[in-house]
A and B are shown apart, each in its own frame.
Chain A
């Protein structure tokens, strides 16, 4: 017991010391930017990719002399994959580290927990990859640099109908995931508008492993393609089982497919399948290639889409600070809102009136374990 009290006292002392040192130090020579993300817990790889990429972008700028004659310092806090923790760490970043702007988060639920705090404190926040429409509706200080699921669904509908000439599509949706159900809706709306027919709608639940019954029903409907919005684990298994049942048409997916694991699961069964994503690592665009090479050199792995979005979010923020010529929250906000045709890794980014990014999506083709660029879809191609 005594030991425990002693330990508690030590922790308290360390905390006090940390607080004393952490507050207001060297603010004059650097611009503090906050980032909150999930560095531990269930979606840790999302947070780590994003943080690594933002740091890469900031180091790059700092090497070139920084912004407004100052160096940028990134304060990173871990929300342990818990939305409620996001609110706590964001409060800390604002009140203790006095950050002038905020980067984060990937998961929409976390962004939604933190956004009202940033809004109330007048700190602009850019979410790199929260796709839920509600995030930016919180207020005029909240932005995002990724496309939304409405656009992603429409992109695939356009690709299926116009490029693949698929007039009949079956959909297999994960009924337990808002993300999957949302994409199903947006895809369906756009596809029907184009003139296509949805011949079969089947469902599954995250964690299922036997999809033969649904696939047999889909096969009976004889579609030209099958849309499976969802995550890579189920997608890989579904395609694998579909090929065994003799379904030879292409399967179409969403950005949740983007993982090396997809190929590990499905293997050659996935050849000739497509999924929508934020960018392609083999895009010849020099901005993309510079990012991919820098990231590989520093972290020794290929950057995923979340890294690319984290990189773009940081660069748009820095660009806005330099255009604002000030670290005042309202001025940075106005500069972010005025972002137009920013050449990002994930495409030309324009921020619209709703503070969402208007940008292109890519469709990748799976071929022998590689995800190759099949088509780039611009926003004007799939006008709502």
Chain B
């Protein structure tokens, strides 16, 4: 039982990371109907920004203040990166065929990965400890402060996001754009601005995931975004792409099932489980767990 609970904690902390990344996929898909394949790489850049920043702060003792500072700066940096990607790569081809946009996304992803290998070096790097470390033992289950931080911070960010989307004017405009791009424009919404904001918010969440993973793994490398990005994408599809609660649910489910498979069966199936779920979802419930069925408009 202890082992099961421990695996559950492991799964939830991993799943929270997937959920944070999945949110970016789902939001961008919501407004542009685009699978932003570069999203996983934004997550990687977020981790690196956090890494270099915390190296700068290394002289100082690990403290909550510095951890929060690192996270906010990294989120801001990636928000800008996200907007840049949108402005430079996607906006020029937004009116082209969907396939053009998708291939552009793959191109951007490859570009970021290779530039990152050039700039950061292909060797893995190791995150210094940022926040003070503590262990909590509940009924034999070890929960580290890092794991707890990951779960709490991601829940907090998700609640904030939900508030932002449901209660603010910008959030309302975002929902309008996701409902109908042209309709929103006719209603006087600056769609370019809203799309840029969507990219900024999604990328900032990915950066938060990057810093959080750096705090708990603690290994980061320029290609770390590929696998995490793909799994987060599966999480978004599982939850119902376009649905924000769906992305969170999907992330937690993928993380937990992955850990359970590795813990009780074999690590060989680690990747298989996520993609097996993707195939099952596409066959049995293409709209995802919480997604709405979209009628094809002719």
Q: A206-239: contact bitstring with B at CB < 8 Å (1 yes, 0 no)?
A: 0011101110110110000000000001001100
Q: Which residues of B contact A175 (CB under 8 A)?
A: 267-268
Alpha-carbon gap, A98 to B201, bound state (A): 66
Q: Which residues of A contact B14 (CB under 8 A)?
A: 210, 212
**A36 smallest CB distance to B (angstroms):** 24
Point out which of A209, A213, A240 has the most chain B C-beta atoms below 10 A from its C-beta.
A213
Q: List 8 A-B contacts (CB under 8 A).
A: A203-B267, A213-B10, A213-B261, A214-B262, A216-B6, A217-B3, A217-B262, A220-B3
Residues A203 and B135 in contact in the complex (CB < 8 Å), given A216-B7, A237-B219: no
Name the residue on A nearest B258 (C-beta).
A213
Q: Which residues of A contact B258 (CB under 8 A)?
A: 213
Cβ A208 vs Cβ B217 within 8 A: no
A-B CB pair tally, cutoff 8 Å: 68
Q: Is A204's beta carbon under 8 Å from chain B?
A: yes
Cβ A214 vs Cβ B137 within 8 A: no
Cβ A216 vs Cβ B10 within 8 A: yes
Cβ A213 vs Cβ B219 within 8 A: no
Alpha-carbon gap, A217 to B265, bound state (A): 10
Using a CB–CB distance below 8 Å, which chain A residues touch chain B? 175, 202-205, 208-210, 212-214, 216-217, 219-220, 233, 236-237, 240-241, 244-246, 264-265
Residues A219 and B6 in contact in the complex (CB < 8 Å), given A213-B259, A240-B218, A246-B135: yes
Cβ A209 vs Cβ B219 within 8 A: yes
**A68 smallest CB distance to B (angstroms):** 45
Alpha-carbon gap, A186 to B260, bound state (A): 29
Q: Is B84's beta carbon under 8 Å from chain A?
A: no
Q: Which residues of A contact B10 (CB under 8 A)?
A: 212-213, 216
Name the residue on A nearest B133 (C-beta).
A244
Alpha-carbon gap, A202 to B266, bound state (A): 7
Residues A216 and B268 in contact in the complex (CB < 8 Å), given A245-B6, A264-B126, A265-B219: no
Does more than half of chain A's interface fall in helix, strand or loop, or is it mixed?
helix
Cβ B146 vs Cβ A244 within 8 A: yes
Q: B1-13: contact bitstring with A at CB < 8 Å (1 yes, 0 no)?
A: 0110011001100
Q: Is B144's beta carbon under 8 Å from chain A?
A: yes
Q: Which residues of A contact B183 (CB under 8 A)?
A: none
Alpha-carbon gap, A245 to B142, bound state (A): 6
Cβ A246 vs Cβ B219 within 8 A: no
Q: Is B107's beta carbon under 8 Å from chain A?
A: no
Name the residue on A nearest B3 (C-beta).
A220
Alpha-carbon gap, A194 to B6, bound state (A): 33
Q: Which residues of B contact A219 (CB under 8 A)?
A: 3, 6
Q: List 7 extra interface pairs beyond A213-B261, A213-B267, A219-B3, CB under 8 A.
A: A205-B268, A209-B224, A213-B11, A217-B263, A233-B219, A244-B135, A264-B126
Cβ B137 vs Cβ A246 within 8 A: yes
Interface residues of B in 136-180 (CB under 8 A from A): 137, 142, 144, 146
Q: How large is the interface on B (under 10, 10 to 19, 20 to 34, 35 or more residues)?
A: 20 to 34
**A240 smallest CB distance to B (angstroms):** 7
Alpha-carbon gap, A214 to B262, bound state (A): 6
Q: Which residues of A contact B126 (CB under 8 A)?
A: 236, 264-265
Alpha-carbon gap, A202 to B11, bound state (A): 17
Q: Which residues of A contact B267 (CB under 8 A)?
A: 175, 202-205, 208, 213-214
Residues A209 and B144 in contact in the complex (CB < 8 Å), given A216-B6, A219-B3, A219-B6: no
Q: Which residues of B contact A240 (CB under 8 A)?
A: 218
Residues A213 and B262 in contact in the complex (CB < 8 Å), given A233-B124, A233-B219, A244-B142: yes
Alpha-carbon gap, A175 to B142, bound state (A): 27
**A25 smallest CB distance to B (angstroms):** 40
Q: B266-292: contact bitstring with A at CB < 8 Å (1 yes, 0 no)?
A: 111010000000000000000000000
Q: Which residues of B contact A264 (CB under 8 A)?
A: 126
Alpha-carbon gap, A204 to B2, bound state (A): 23
Which one, B11, B218, B219, B263, contacts A214 given CB within 8 A? B263
Point out which of A219, A241, A244 has the most chain B C-beta atoms below 10 A from its C-beta.
A244
Alpha-carbon gap, A265 to B218, bound state (A): 8
Alpha-carbon gap, A264 to B267, bound state (A): 26
Q: Which residues of B contact A220 (CB under 8 A)?
A: 2-3
Q: Which residues of B contact A208 (CB under 8 A)?
A: 267, 270
Alpha-carbon gap, A214 to B137, bound state (A): 19
Q: Which residues of A contact B218 (CB under 8 A)?
A: 237, 240, 265
Alpha-carbon gap, A107 to B146, bound state (A): 39
Q: Which residues of B contact A265 (CB under 8 A)?
A: 126, 218-219
Q: Which residues of A contact B3 (CB under 8 A)?
A: 216-217, 219-220
Which one, A203, A209, A246, contacts B217 given CB within 8 A? A209
**B139 smallest CB distance to A (angstroms):** 13
Q: Which residues of B contact A204 (CB under 8 A)?
A: 267
Q: B204-246: contact bitstring with A at CB < 8 Å (1 yes, 0 no)?
A: 0000000000000111000010000000000000000000000
Alpha-carbon gap, A239 to B39, bound state (A): 30
Name the residue on A nearest B226 (C-beta).
A207
